Each structure stands twice: as C-alpha cells, then as structure tokens.
Structure 1
C-alpha cells in the first residue's frame, strides 16, 4: 500500500488531525470562506479572550490539565480550538521548548499536525464511532509514549454521542491518565455528557459572537475578498448566523455571489436570499401597531409576506425589535447594537415612547404569538392576529397606570364607565376569590377545579400571585394559571410558590362541613334523636333559611336523619 493510500485510509477512519476538510485546495479550485479564514493561531480567535488568557496562564505556570472540554453552539470554533490546543501542547521551536499559546513561528510539529501527518495527534468522531470497541481501540495506544511529540493528544468531537459503555471505557483512563496523554473533547450538548467525565475536565464554554462583533469581522473578510457588502447586509448576515462564525462566513459566501463583480451586496439582496423581512419596514409596522393603527400595521406585514418573507421570521424579527427596545431602556446611552445608524435611532425613539412595563408587555404578546404560530394551521393568519393583539394592547393603560388606578380605586381620566371595567383590572383580579369567579365565568372548568383542590393561596394582588401547592397538584397548573391571567389582563404576572399558604378551597369546604355536623350533633334535640334511633346518622346540615316549619325556631340548623334498622 502506498503512502498516499495509507493517508487516505487514516482520514476515512477519522483518526487524522484535520481530515479532508483541511487538505490544501487544488490550484484554481475555489476555497470557501469558512475554510479559507479558519483561525491558524490563538490570536485569530475572536470573542474567546477569556479562554485564551486562561490557557496562557496555565502554560506559563505549568498547571496544565490532562483533559479539556470545549462546549458551545455549532460553528463557534470548538473543533478549530481543539486543533490549535493540540499544536500548543506540543509546541517546540528554535527558541522555545514547552507548551505555548504563541504559535508563531511554526513549531517543529505544527506543519505535520496541520497536514494530518502527525502520529501522536489522533481524532475520533463520536458521531460515527459510538461503540465501546472503537473507544478501546483508540485507548489501546495510550499506554505507549509519543513517537516524537511531547504529548499524545486524543481529540474526540461530539463526545456526547458516545455510548454509556464507551464513556465507562474512557473513564478509567481519565481517572488515572498517563503523564504523556492529553484529551480534548468537543460537544454541542454538554448536558448529555456524564458528570463523572465533566468533573475530570477543564471546561471552556465558547461564547456566541455578538452581532456587532460578527458583522465587523465579516466586513473585514469581505474587504479582503474585494467584495462590497452594505452595512445593513452585514448586520442581517450577522443576525442570521446567531453567533456562529462559520454560519456567518457561509452566508457571506452565498451573499457575495448575489451580485455581479464590482456591485455592492445590498440589504435587500440579503433579505431576498434569506427570506427575511425588511427590518426598516418591520420597524414601521411595529411603530404603527403600538400606535393603534391596525390597518397600516397589517398592510406592512402582509406586503412582506407576499414578498416572500416567512411569517415566523417576521415575528422573530419583531421580537428582536421589542427586545432591543427594552435593552435600550435599560442601557441608555450605552446602547450600541449592530446595524445601520437609523436602526439605532429609531429603536431609541421607541424606547422613549414606551414605558418599561409596556415594552415588557409587548414582548410577552409577541412571544405568546410566536408560540401559537408554530402550531397554527395558517401561519400568515396567525401573524395577522398577533399584530391585531398588539394593536389592541395600545388602547390599554400602561401597566404602571393600571396599577395606580387600582390603588386609587378609580378609572383613568377620559375613560367611560364601560372602559373602566375592561381588561386592565379584568374585573379586579386581585384576590383568590375573584380569580376563581373569573375562571367560573369563562368556563375554565379544569383549571378552576384544580385551583380549588390543589392550591393553597398566599398573598395575592394584581399582577402577583403566590401560593403553596398540594403534593398531588399537576406539574403545569401554575404555568396554565399564569397564561390565563396574562391572556385576560394583557399584563405580565408573577406566579410563584411559597411556604405556608392557606388551606385549599376543597379542604375549607370539608372542614366547614365537619364543623357544622359536629355542631348539629351537639344540639340537645338532635343528640336525643340520635340516641333514640339506633343506627341513625346525620347526612346533611341545611342553613336556617331552608329550615322546615316543624323544627323549633331557636334551632340553628336542620338535619335529615337516616335511620337504618340494624341486622
């Protein structure tokens, strides 16, 4: 077998350092941006400064872990970082002999590792090799010293996909690792990794890149490629990438070919490519909705749906606008998101127009609508209904104003009596009894029964509900109560558990009934009747208003006696 065949077989077995994706491009072949601009040194990593600082300090002090766990979303750089770390652990140059995060100039082993030819750096793809036999084969060589490098490095990608037996086989080596062996794990599902493995690793959570930072990075790469991409286009690509550098580069690659050479990639071209809505027009729709202009707001979103934008994507963008408004309110002059200057100024203007509670209510309405849209038979119709609900909320007093009105016990100026009794206080939902009455009126029978049977009410006021739950209560009863209250009021509610709630309605009914029976049985006339009729029991106690004329007027209660002849 030739050396080339041997290398190919090793790559197919995924025991190479980089695999085929790192093979040099053939002359004249186009290299995609995600490969072309993959970081080659730790300085090239963006947004991971904390991790690099920790590694640098560890290498300088000699406190180097024997196993590393890298976790984060797809495309954030886990595998790239693992490969850089393998080079760093084995770094040796003319003027430096020891682990180092400074990989310039290329070390003695760097080229071999980058070319997938180093025998001491082995990689396992756990997504395709999950069995215990694969793990044992990999670890069989762990007891042998490295061939030429300082450490034998095992990289296991998507480690969460290993079987339980594979984890158990790995655990023994992790517990007592040979001094020359290092493990580097990468995963997108850190919760699926057994804690017995996690506890033996130095963990690094690779951060999502903020849209502004990612847009700036993509802009620099576009400039190197000689491509012109508008500021809006870069912002849209960065948002669509959701913090993933690889996804951002892939989308940028696609965007560049949307126009002829020399022409700029506009925001409109990116929106058409990704099926996004026009963010400027979505801001128009948002402004019209919170101003109560139903027709204009609907026309804006409907026109974008007709233009190819997905209803779910439109609603997601509206959610981002609502979130940006709240963030702008909280951060004030420090608010600096990615995107054109007019986006920032319009967001700040809306942040000044709404109160913090109104902004939070708007977010809640949109989020609830987004969840409904996922199961709606017609997403476009569901989107229209969400917009109309947002418009309807514009006619309500702000939550702050509603709270003041409730505290003062009066309606806001200019409101008619009918309006004063509408959803801001939803019939006075400020007590357990009023909430139960509202459930009864709206025929929410299941929730009403569960509230009476399992909920021990605590302090309750409008917007805040506390209680203690019985052990047998359904797990979702409070979530459904919160949803009901927010639907009826249009406001956010805090629904939380406490200790020391009052008794349930059902328990109170049983206690009251038992007390009335005991009181009736203690009445002289009834006690005499029970004594004279062996086997008689009290089956009901009726209020005095329903008493029979035959019972003496001074009796507090009336009873029915069930006389049973004993066998």
Structure 2
C-alpha cells in the first residue's frame, strides 16, 4: 500500500509560474535569467513557508536545465528531475542551523573550487544562514569576494539582521512577503479541486487566516483538516480543529455593548466559558472584527459582498462612531496582552468587556432598522447614562454667556460624566486626576503608563467640552506624574471591587450556602460570584 504524500511536498511549485505570491521576486529573477545578468550570490529573506527554499530550487533548475540558462526550465531533463527529487550532485543544500562551525564551511568552500560534475553551475543553498558562526561567515566571505565563475550561492534566512553587513553587501537581496489570505485561499481551492475533496469557501478562509501568510503552514493545516473531516472540509470541523470561536459570539458581544447591556455581555462570556472557548483567541478575533468594521466605515469597497456576515459588519459600522471602534480595538489589544496578568482568563476577558462598556458614549445613535435593537439603556448599576444636572440658573443658553459655577462643588469624576466625551478623549479624562479644579483653571495629571493618551486632538476635545460646560474659555493644562488614585476610572474600579466583596460576603453568609458547605463539604468558586445589577 503506497503512502499518501503530504500536500506541502506534493504541490510544491516546480517552476516560477506555479508560485503563489512573490511576484516582485519572480519578475526580477525572470528578467535576470532572460538577459543572462546573473549574480554570484542571492539572499532570500522572509518568514517561514513563504517560498525561500522553493525559489532557490527553481533557480537551480533555471541555471542547470539542459536547454540552457532559462527562466522556464523544462522540468523533464535529467537535471530538472534530479533537482526536484533532491539527487542532483551539483546542488548542495546545507542547513546552517545544524552546521554552524567553521570546519563545515571550509570543507564546503574547498569543494566549491572544483568544476561541476554534470551541470552548468554548482549551486549552494544555505538555509537559515544567520545561524552560522562568526568564523564560518569569515570563511564564506573570502569566497564571496572572489567567487569561482561556476559557483552560485543562494542564501535563505528568517533573520537577516544577524547576517554580517560584509556578507549582505555581496549578495543580491530579495525580501519575500507574507502571502495574502485571499491568494492562499484561492490556491487551496485549486488544490482541493484537483484532489476532488469537497469544501466550502469559509473553511478555506479560516485556514488561510490561521496560516498567517505561510503557504506551507496552510497546506499542513489543509492536510489536518482533510483528516479531521474524514475527507470533507466543512466550516464547523475547521473551527473545531483550529479552536476558533463562533463568529456569531463576537457580533452578539458588540451588539450587547451597543445596547449598554452589561448582563448580556457577561451572559455571553459565561456561554463561551461553558463551551471551553479560548478567551485569548476571542480577543484576537474580536480585534479582527473591529478592524473589518473600521474598513467598512473608512473604505467600504474593501469588504466584498461575498464576505461572511457582510450585513452585520456594515450594520455595526453604521451604529458605532469610527473613534469608538478605534478605542475598542485598542482595548481589545491591551486586554489580550494583559490576559496572562489577570486572576484568570474569564476575569481578564470580562474586564476587557467592562472597560469597553465604561467608555461607551452616552449619545450613541443606533440604526434600529438594521439591527433591531431596543434603544433602552440597560447598562449595569454605576454605568447609567449621565445627563448634566446643573441648576436652572447655570443652564447654558448662549455660548457667549459665562456661567457662575461654585468651584467648591466641582469634583473631577462627576464633572467628566457631564462633559459628554466619547472615545479616546473620554479615556484620557477618565485616566486623569485633577490637581487643580475651578471654573477658570483646571490642571490634570496623567500617570506615566497612560501618557500615550496625551494626543493633542483628545486634549482639544476635552478643552472644547469644558468651554461649553462653563460657557467661557477655561485654562486647561496636562502633566505627566504620580497620582493618588482618585481618577474617575480608579474610583469606578474601587466601587466595583466593593460591590464584588459585598456579593462574596453575602453568599458566604447565606444560610443555605453554609449548610451545603457543612453537610456536603462543598466549596465556593469565588470567581463565579458576581454582584447583581440593579
């Protein structure tokens, strides 16, 4: 019984026309071969699986094909066939990761002095060349300075920064790009058509995305998907194999966020936890979705009509302001990077959602027809929409008239709720602490960890909101320094912590819970206790 060949080997490109992506490299090499303008050393750089070794072998065939130096090797002559099978005597492949020593390099270079046995050129392909020792590079440098006419070097690396500049300067360098997802998906579709394996478009898109620009990884994942689906590739099976969360959860989360429905957000998080979904993957996919929503807002034509969930993407794009989506994107990224620091993944994920909820604008305009979401504010206690509660004599009727506001009544956390700030400007205000606060002069201090928020346009938005609130220009200054912890967001977190502690205490003192603990040796799962929202 013959063994099935893995797809990555079976479908390895045999000539330049079969390569997917890297058109800039193919064009340059093709022109050089056709015009016989050959260099003695080529350096191919790029991440794993983008075609470095494949291009090196095709170049070896182009130089040694019995039809002569050509950009279109015949593929049938002994030289081409032997290069394809790895048995061509004048093609020497070296893995520098396992041959780092200078003795190996000297032996290789000594053999380079001899003429090729059967081909036009001796080709040396050195993979992961950056792994060579300093003395090995020095030995190679001598040959690169005065190369024999019959020798060509093709160096490949994922880390060109580690290659000495003296070596780099003697090579013709090509930087291979990560292959776009659409090209990977299209290539996989062609292969599956040849293999006569049923599949669907979304499954191939998921595999292409998981491959992260590597065609070799994509083909390996495709092999796994075929085995996982017992000869059929379906979306559900691919999601299970890759551990990808159901995209509907992500849309439901954003729609619950738009409704300011904290209970719904937590309920969805509970469902995801019950299904053992990865919260790290969820935040990664949420950031991807927010990116697609931004594209729908800024460059609608970038989202093709065939994109899955096309309607829901554009509905959310209309429902949220662009700067809010930008803010949520940053929160998702920070939430994912902080996940390992959280008490547990559930806490880190839900805290990220609560942070998004905290910075939701109070005046969000919802496209009710497209999303059919009620406009009622279901935000949990402590997060209700705030409206300015100013005495009637302080109500601003004309912008040019100033208002008399008792400075002794001003408290920065409460004042921030009156300013109707949104997005990053609201985040800056929430992370600032007032060092001086009056109707004429306000000095805000931002801790060093949040200094990235001090963008002038966000400061200007806060300035404009203060001028409007007080009815006159207010002197506003920001500084970076230590704070006492009385920022609006710190106070809110303190309030939530107190609520959490009271909820835990109430459960621990509950007679029924105490009886269960005593009689059945039950244990409380503290992270599962959440305060009720009133």
TM over 0.5: yes
Give 1:320 deviation, angstroms.
0.7
Q: Give the aligned partner of residue 372 of structure 1.
A: 338
**Which deviations, in whole Å up to 9, do the C-alpha atoms of 1:406-465 show, x marking residues without a partner?**
xxxxxx9954464215872628979998999544xx8x5xx59xx9xxxxxx99664489
- Conserved in 1, the CA contact under 8 Å of 2:256 and 2:262? yes
Cα distance in 1 for partners of 2:63, 2:250 equals 50
| 2:114 pairs with 1:144 | yes
Q: How many residues align?
A: 414
What is the 5 A alignment of 1:414-433?
414-416=387-389, 418=414, 419-420=417-418, 424=426, 426=429
- Conserved in 2, the CA contact under 8 Å of 1:430 and 1:461? no
Cα distance in 2 for partners of 1:50, 1:230 equals 31
The equivalent position to 1:86 in structure 2, one of 39, 42, 60, is: 60
Change (3 A) 1:433 1:141: farther
Give 1:332 deviation, angstroms.
2.1
Change (3 A) 1:488 1:69: farther
Change (3 A) 1:212 1:460: closer
Q: Give the aligned partner of residue 280 of structure 1.
A: 248
Q: Give the aligned partner of residue 199 of structure 2.
A: 229
Change (3 A) 1:121 1:343: same
- Conserved in 2, the CA contact under 8 Å of 1:305 and 1:380? yes
Cα distance in 1 for partners of 2:265, 2:482 equals 26
Change (3 A) 1:381 1:43: same
What is the 5 A alignment of 1:30-429?
30-93=4-67, 97-98=68-69, 100-261=70-231, 264-336=232-304, 341-395=307-361, 414-416=387-389, 418=414, 419-420=417-418, 424=426, 426=429
Structure 2 unaligned runs (5+)? 365-384, 391-413, 462-478, 490-534
Cα distance in 1 for partners of 2:324, 2:460 equals 17
Cα RMSD after superposing both structures: 3.4
- Conserved in 2, the CA contact under 8 Å of 1:431 and 1:461? no
What is the 5 A alignment of 1:437-452?
438-439=444-445, 447=448
Q: Give the aligned partner of residue 530 of structure 2.
A: none
Cα distance in 1 for partners of 2:31, 2:280 equals 46
- Conserved in 1, the CA contact under 8 Å of 2:90 and 2:118? yes
Q: Secondary structure at the residue paired with 1:281?
A: helix
Q: Secondary structure at the residue paired with 1:265?
A: coil
Structure 1 unaligned runs (5+)? 1-26, 399-411, 452-457, 466-479, 491-567
Cα distance in 2 for partners of 1:109, 1:436 equals 79
**Which deviations, in whole Å up to 9, do the C-alpha atoms of 1:245-278 show, x marking residues without a partner?**
11111111111122345xx432221111121101
- Conserved in 2, the CA contact under 8 Å of 1:71 and 1:188? yes
Cα distance in 2 for partners of 1:258, 1:351 equals 36
Q: Secondary structure at the residue paired with 1:342?
A: coil
Q: Secondary structure at the residue paired with 2:250?
A: helix
Cα distance in 2 for partners of 1:258, 1:460 equals 53
Change (3 A) 1:253 1:182: same
- Conserved in 2, the CA contact under 8 Å of 1:282 and 1:301? no
Cα distance in 1 for partners of 2:346, 2:135 equals 48
Give 1:298 deviation, angstroms.
2.8
Change (3 A) 1:231 1:139: same
Structure of greater Rg: 1
Cα distance in 2 for partners of 1:251, 1:459 equals 43
Cα distance in 2 for partners of 1:233, 1:171 equals 48
Cα distance in 2 for partners of 1:463, 1:430 equals 14
TM-score by length of 1: 0.66
**Which deviations, in whole Å up to 9, do the C-alpha atoms of 1:299-325 show, x marking residues without a partner?**
223322322321111110011111122
Q: Give the aligned partner of residue 402 of structure 1.
A: none
- Conserved in 2, the CA contact under 8 Å of 1:312 and 1:370? yes
Change (3 A) 1:103 1:396: farther
